[in-house]
Amino acid sequence: MTINDQVQILLNEFKEEFPYYRDHCLHCAAEGAEYLGEITCTSHLEKDIQRAVRAELRYCSSCSKLSRFVRANDVNSIMQRKYGRCGEYSIAFAAILLIFGLDIRWIYDSSDHVWIEALINNKFIHCDPCEAALNQPLLYSQNWQKSSSLVLAFDKHQAIDLTSFYYPDNSTVATLRKNIHLSPELISSILSQYNFSASNTTITTSTQKAANNRN
């Protein structure tokens, strides 16, 4: 069994164990709880233990109760409650891969999605725990029929622009960027600022090689 096979098994088990949170009531589980807005987390439990900044409020007409969906950033909190979205699940699955000795990096998509990449056989491989998807970089542009203006990869050493890798329709990307005044100079500035802050960290040989070796 290859490493890819093992990671795929982990993804499948994770998706089954950790369902994606959409809009159900956290009290009676009724679907379609009304979205009321977001609030800032101020309590010790949410802010300090769950490391959350914000929470969604939803009202359930079935049980007349408010649900408070806390956007947790603490891996232990996420694993205990067993529900979340792409942000929570990227954090949780990244922790699982790190336990198994695989390096990861974070992928930010400006069209409102995040996932991770796993370093397998010296290559960073697309890994989306919400979809149990491994090495399917065109999932979003083809299956989801999405487009995006910016996709960035972050690790502790560097940030790089991966937009063309995940969204290869360069003309659509260029149009989106033009509409929001996202110039190449601005993108370069964003990357430079991040890379400058990480410049005092030595980049490992494996990470350097993997940055230039993609499937």
- Write down the catalytic residue from 103, 109, 128, 155: 128
Burial 162-185 (b: 16+ CB within 10 A, else e): bbebbbeeeeebeebbeeeebeee
How many helices (H) and strands (E) would you count in the chain?
7, 9
Catalytic residue among 25, 60, 86, 127: 86
The reply to whether 5 belongs to the active site is no
CA distance 156 to 138: 25
H helix or E strand, kind and range, residue 10: helix 3-17
126 given a catalytic annotation: no
Phi first, then psi: give them for residue 208, nearest 5 degrees: -60, -45
Length of the chain: 215
Which of the residues 113, 126, 127, 155 is marked catalytic?
113
- Local structure of 69: helix, strand or coil: strand
Angle value at C-alpha 190, between 187 and 192, nearest 5 degrees: 105
| C-alpha count within 13 angstroms, C-beta hemisphere, residue 10 | 22
Q: Has 86 been annotated as catalytic?
A: yes
130 close to 85: Cβ distance less than 8 angstroms: yes
Residues serving a catalytic function are 86, 113, 128
